[in-house]
Amino acid sequence: MIELPERTRRISPSRLHEILVRHNCASLVDPFMGLPTHLNYLKRHGIACHGGDLLEWFVRVGEGIVVNDLTILRDSEVAEIVEMLPGRIYSLDMFKAWEGVFFSEEQCVYLGVWHDNVRNLRSDGQTGLAILGLWRAFCYWLQKTQNADDMQDVPPSELAWSYIRQTEQWVIANMRRNTVRQTDVLTTVAAQKADALFLCPPARNSFRSADARIWMWEAWWQGNPYFTIEHAYRDSLFGARAADPPSYARAFASVLEHAEAYPVLVVQTTEQRLGDVESLVRNARRKVEILAPHSYEMYLVATN
């Protein structure tokens, strides 16, 4: 049975927004954005958001809910995503490798159909929205493998339909330019000027315990069930080169060094890692304020 981790990192955008408002920040860069629902929240509250990540599907979702100001999916367009279309040739075996392991035969067929349909969508915004909606359906299935008796059987197309519809509700314009890019952290930090830089770096060696719901969806997007995300991290700043504590600290310090131009720096960490992170941030900035609503959700707000 697949393992779904107990603790996932929590970014509370409403709390982050309160911090940004307190420091009069109207724009933010997040080079470790992950699933950018928090950037969508900030965008909705008027903050110009710029995110970066190494995984393509995160970036695609960012195009749907962060960059996209207007594009939504009409009923007819959702229908073209969730079901097999007559006249189109589908690679129905694309995800057969997952059959019997994670998913049923029917679910694997749908994963193939959805993959092909999403690839045929007309705009980046629509593609991003569809990827996020379908990912939620995919997570529902994975969860159901663990709790078969506790969760409803919902027909795949109905499940996908409801999630895509729900995702589409989050599209909004903030009259600002918002961007996402697929690149390593330093490139994102250097590429954009903003009032604040938000850092929520992965823990050391965390890619080795990456959540299946994350890497499997990248594999889905790439159309290759054997795809792993290790290559994406291998040569990245926080990848294999930062496997030991001193290297990790050096990698983090180099990000802080590149972030000098940002007036406000917000670093999210946990009580467990606070000791390491705090000293590095204090080396880089004169004023550091610590906000600690929980032991697993702490913010270091650093200014000059």
Partner 1 sequence: MLPSAAICEGFGTVMNNRLGQMTLFQDTGGDPRGAASQFADVLTAYGAIGDAACGNPPGLARRKASTAVSLARVAECEPHECDAMYFAGLLHAVGAVGNPAYRKDERLSERLARMESWDTPSMGAQICEHIPALPAQTADIVRWQAECWDGTGYPDQLRWHGIPRPAMLLALADTVVRAADPEEALTAVAMQSGRAFSPDMTRTFTMWFHVSGGEAETAEPPLEALRDVSAASTLALMDAIADRIDKHNGDEGRWRRVERLATASAALLNVDATENERLALAVRLYGAGEIAKSQQSEASFDPLARLGIDDRAAHAVLAAKLVEENPTLGRAAAVLRARSEWYDGTGKPDGLFHRAIPAAAGLLAAAIAYDALGHKDRIDTAAGTQFDPQTVRAVLEAARTRA
> Which residues contact partner 1 (rule: CB under 8 A)?
4-15, 18, 35, 37-38, 40-41, 44, 136, 139-140, 143-144, 146-147, 150-152, 163, 166-167, 169, 172, 293-294
User: Least CB distance from residue 256 to partner 1, whole Å?
Assistant: 26
User: Least CB distance from residue 257 to partner 1, whole Å?
Assistant: 31
Q: Which is nearer to partner 1, 245 or 293 (by Cβ)?
A: 293
Q: Which is nearer to partner 1, 72 or 190 (by Cβ)?
A: 72
User: Least CB distance from residue 2 to partner 1, whole Å?
Assistant: 14
User: Least CB distance from residue 162 to partner 1, whole Å?
Assistant: 9
Provide DSSP, 200-263. Answer: -PPPTTGGGG--HHHHHHHHHHHT-TT--SHHHHHTSTTTGGG-SHHHHHHHHHHHHHHTTT-S
Give the pair of three-digit tokens for residue 301: 């707000």
Q: Which is nearer to partner 1, 153 or 275 (by Cβ)?
A: 153
Q: Which is nearer to partner 1, 177 or 294 (by Cβ)?
A: 294
Q: Which is nearer to partner 1, 4 or 280 (by Cβ)?
A: 4
User: Least CB distance from residue 4 to partner 1, whole Å?
Assistant: 8
User: Least CB distance from residue 14 to partner 1, whole Å?
Assistant: 4
Q: Which is nearer to partner 1, 94 or 266 (by Cβ)?
A: 266
User: Least CB distance from residue 163 to partner 1, whole Å?
Assistant: 7
Q: Which is nearer to partner 1, 38 or 285 (by Cβ)?
A: 38
